[in-house]
Amino acid sequence: MFASLLAHQGGWDEVLLIAGPIVAIAGLLMLAKRRVDEAVADASTDTAAETVAEVASAND
């Protein structure tokens, strides 16, 4: 039954075979970029807090 569903249905099935993987890869790239951006923001916040603590301890 599944094979008959994908047997020349006016072209939409071929579009899904091409667009599906493209959409999946684009989604994974967006997820990876979001995770990297959050990691960079966390790292810069941690570095800024350490710098402030070092300056405060140096002035004491």
Rounded distance between C-alpha atoms, residue 19 and residue 1, angstroms:
23
Q: What is the pLDDT of residue 33?
A: 96
Tokens 């997820």 sit on residue: 31
Tell me the per-residue pLDDT of 10-50, one tens digit each, with 9 for 90 and over: 788 788 889 999 999 999 999 999 999 998 888 887 676 66
pTM for this predicted structure: 0.59
